[in-house]
Amino acid sequence: MNQYSDKGVVLRTYKLGEADRIIVIMTQDHGKVRAVAKGVRKTKSKIGARLEVLSHVEVLLYKGKDLDTVNQVELIESSAPLHADLDRLTQGLSMLEAVDLIAEDRQPSPHLYRMLVGALNALAQHASPLVLAAFYWKLLAAEGVCPQMDKCVTCNSEAPLVAFDMIQGGVQCRQCRTGVSISPAAVLLLQQVLGGQLNFALAQSATPATAEITHLATQSMEHHIERRLRSVAMIELG
94 part of a folded domain = no
Domain count, the chain: 2
Alpha-carbon gap, residue 21 to 37, rounded angstroms? 5
219 part of a folded domain = yes
Among 45, 60, 81, residue at a domain's last position: 81
Residues 132 and 226 in one domain: yes
The pLDDT of 147-155, averaged and rounded, is: 96
- 130-148: pLDDT as tens digits: 999 999 999 999 999 999 9
Residues 72 and 175 in one domain: no
Residues 65 and 131 in one domain: no
Task: Please tell me whether the overall predicted TM-score, pTM, comes out greater than 0.95 for this model.
Answer: no
197 part of a folded domain = yes
Residues 77 and 148 in one domain: no
For the domain that residue 15 is a member of, what is the CATH number? Answer: 2.40.50.140
92 part of a folded domain = no
- 195-237: pLDDT as tens digits: 989 999 999 999 999 999 999 999 999 999 999 888 766 555 4
**Beta strands at 68-77 and 32-37: parallel, antiparallel or unpaired:** parallel
pLDDT score of 235 = 55
Of the pLDDT bands very low, low, confident and very high (cuts 50, 70, 90), residue 46 is confident
Q: Is the pLDDT of residue 189 over 80?
A: yes
Among 81, 110, 135, residue at a domain's last position: 81
Residues 57 and 159 in one domain: no
Give the domain range for residue 35. Answer: 3-81
90 part of a folded domain = no
Alpha-carbon gap, residue 238 to 236, rounded angstroms? 5
99 part of a folded domain = no
232 part of a folded domain = yes
Residues 72 and 143 in one domain: no
Residues 143 and 233 in one domain: yes
Residues 163 and 216 in one domain: yes
Residues 37 and 136 in one domain: no
Residues 133 and 228 in one domain: yes
